[in-house]
Each structure stands twice: as structure tokens, then as C-alpha cells.
Amino acid sequence: MEVRVGLIGYKFMGKAHSNAWGQVNRFFKTGARAVMRAVCGRDENAVRGFAENWGWQSVETDWRRLVSRPDIDVVDIATPNDSHAMIAIEAARQGKAILCEKPLARSLKEALTMLAAVRKYKVANMVWHNYRRIPALQLCRRIVKEGRLGIIRHIRAVYLQDWIQDPKFPLVWRLKGDIAGSGAHGDINAHILDATRFITGSEPVEVCAHFETFIKERPVGAMTGGLGAKAGRGKGRVTVDDAVIALARMSNGAIATYEASRFANGRKNGWGFEINGSKGSIKFEFERMNELQFYDASDPAHLRGFRRILVTEPGQHEYISAWWPPGHIIGYEHTFTNQVADFLTGYLAKKPLSPDFLDNTRNQAALEAMAVSSQKRRWVRVQRVN
């Protein structure tokens, strides 16, 4: 069976998605064959070059045209955050399956409209939380399900980068509230919140957060994205957070801390977490994403310790059979290919996708409660989404 994909957006995430759609057929046998039908971008020349490079069969310059094409089964949304809702709702109306970049929306309200749309039109829907497809995270989920952590007491998670810590770094779109919705919060705090919700199967019920913008004004820069942006002339106001720190009480009784920053000098894509339970603990850091630390309190007392599991065993660890022999590590891009493989499998079987818009709207609800909390300077309950 062929699954015909249309991609909207062709910058950083467009590249990562294109690679995934291209690689998935080669490494995975899902029963469905991804066909890279069309890619859409406003600059025709640029998008044409992109299409040629990545093997997209055609191009569009108007996303509405792409979304309405009858030869497209799946719309993959990789645009800046302010267009996610608009595109996703129209795609749903057109009966397309949807894969949307995170953060799903700029606000909970926006996310709820998107959720309503996919429900109304009953289309397959999924959010690009590619990090769920790190084999080590799948192993975390399995360890929890196997009961190896017992009652979960503590979650602590950080997402630390340093790419805007220089005050001369320009005012890119990710630093503008109207386009991005938020800064480190929606971009990277969203990831660790999702990862820990996924692993523990629990939701934040009450949160308290503080948002900080260390550098209030920056040189006006080309609106071209994240890293490598060049500064222009004049200064503009930064209207998102540079960093966020947060506390949470979880539905399973655990307590949690979250921190996301683009000002953590020396930390490049330094995200990770530790989860402590009554029977064991796990620790993970992305920059060593092929490893998981696991502490099993049921080991003999003289031999207890965090063990470093190299999560690269074919047959034992999720996705690895598709890739390379033990110890031959995979990298960042594989998480996208793994997600596409799961998408194809689920789409074919008409099974729930993870995370779908419902799941991710819950993530959004927690993010929003944190934003409110930061302004109100007190704990805030997270709105329940069902």
C-alpha cells in the first residue's frame, strides 16, 4: 500500500522530515510505502531545489493547494507555529491524515480547535514528538509498564541549550511571541514535558512556573529560523521567554521539576531526565541518546547501582532491528524515521497514533498553566482535556 505525503515547510524540520520519509522504506518493512508526493513553500525556486534534493515528486507554493490535492493522503506540517492550526484544520476538513510539528499550537485554545477539527473529520492525527522514538525512551516506557520503578516519586527534567546566550544574537522568529507563541517553553520545555508524561503515563495536575527573559532587546535579524541567523539593523523587543523553571504535582502522586533554557552555556542539546520510583530509577541524557541508566533496587544489596544500558540490541530494543548491529549507534535523525515507521504502521492498521492531538493538547494544557502561573506568581491547576 502507498501512503502519499505532502510536506509543508522546508527549513530545519522540513529537512528532518524529508530525510525520514526517504529513509523509512529502506530500513523498515511496515507494509506501507511512503511516497514523497509534494512539498510546499512560498519561495518557488527554493522549494524546487529542496524537492529535487530530497526526492519530492512535485512542489506547491500555496499550502491550500497542497492540502486539497486528491493525490495526497497525509499532510505533514513543518511550518512556524503560527500556521499550525490554520493548516491542520483545513487538512482535517479535506480528510487528510495529519502529522503536525510541535508545539501543536500557540495556546491551549488554539490546540482545542485543532483537536475538535480532527475529531469532527475523524482523520488520523499525530504530533511530531520524535523524541518518543528514541529507543531509550521506549525502554523507559517499557520499564515503567513492567513495574520496575514501582510508585513514582520524583521526576526531574531539563532541556538546556545555549544558542541565544550571546546578546548580539538576532531577533529571529523563534523570539517573537506572535509567531512562536512562546520561547524555550513551547519549543523545548514542551519536549521534556511530553517525554516524562509519555514515560510515566501521568499528567501534571497543578503547576508553578517562572518565565525569564534575560535579554529584553536584540538586533533585528532575518526571520529565517534558529541557528546561524544573521543580524540586521536596529533593535527589537524579545517577546518570549529565554528560560523557564517549573514545579509540578503529577496525577500519580509524584512531584516534578522542569527547566528549559537557551542560556545554559556549554549545553548544546542537553536535555534529559531522572525518574525515581519505589523500586527503581531511570536517568537519560539526549547527548548520549543510545544509553539509558537504570537502577534496580531488587538487585543483590552489594551489587546495586545505576547500570548504563547501551540501547542498541536488535530484537531487544525498539527500532534497532531496522538499523545496525549492537553498539553501532544511531543519532538524532533516526528518531524521525522511527516515528514515520510507527506512523505508517498505525495508519495502515487504523490504530491510535502516539501522541495524537488529544494527547498533545494535554501537553499544551500543562504548558499553558505554567505560563499563567508565571504571571500570577502562584500555583495553577492544569485544565483537564478529554
Give φ, ψ of 205 to 5 degrees.
Answer: -105, -30
Task: Considering only the stretches 11-19, 58-66, 91-99, 195-203, report the one whose residues sit in contact with a copy of itself under the rule CB under 8 A.
Answer: 11-19
The neighbouring-strand residues paired with 292 are 309
Residue 221, H or E segment: strand 217-221
> Shortest gap between Cβ of 269 and a copy of itself (angstroms)?
3
Instruction: State which of positions 107-146 bind a copy of itself (CB under 8 A).
Output: 139, 142-143
Using CB under 8 A as the binding criterion, the count of chain residues that bind a copy of itself stands at 97
**With respect to a copy of itself, which residue has the nearer C-beta, 177 or 226?**
226
Out of 48, 219, 235, 332, the only residue in the binding site for a copy of itself (CB under 8 A) is 332
**With respect to a copy of itself, which residue has the nearer C-beta, 98 or 344?**
344
Report which DSSP code applies to 289. T
For 209, other C-beta atoms within 10 Å of its C-beta total 27
Is residue 20 a contact point for a copy of itself (CB under 8 A)? no
Instruction: State which of positions 263-322 bind a copy of itself (CB under 8 A).
Output: 263-270, 274, 276-281, 286-292, 294-297, 299, 301-310, 312-314, 316-317
Distances (CA, A) of 151 to 112, 199, 248, 279: 32, 13, 17, 7
> Shortest gap between Cβ of 44 and a copy of itself (angstroms)?
20
**With respect to a copy of itself, which residue has the nearer C-beta, 90 or 291?**
291
Q: What is the DSSP string of 139-181?
A: HHHHHHHTTSS-SEEEEEEEEE--TT-STTS-B-GGG-HHHHS
Is residue 331 a contact point for a copy of itself (CB under 8 A)? yes
Give φ, ψ of 316 to 5 degrees.
Answer: -105, -40
> Shortest gap between Cβ of 214 and a copy of itself (angstroms)?
6
For 71, other C-beta atoms within 10 Å of its C-beta total 12
Task: Considering only the stretches 90-98, 192-200, 208-216, 357-365, report the one whose residues sit in contact with a copy of itself under the rule CB under 8 A.
Answer: 208-216
How many alpha carbons fall within 13 Å on the CB side of residue 334?
20
Q: CA-CA distance, 167 to 55, in Å (whole number)?
A: 39
Instruction: State which of positions 241-270 bind a copy of itself (CB under 8 A).
Output: 243, 245-247, 249, 253, 255-257, 259, 261, 263-270
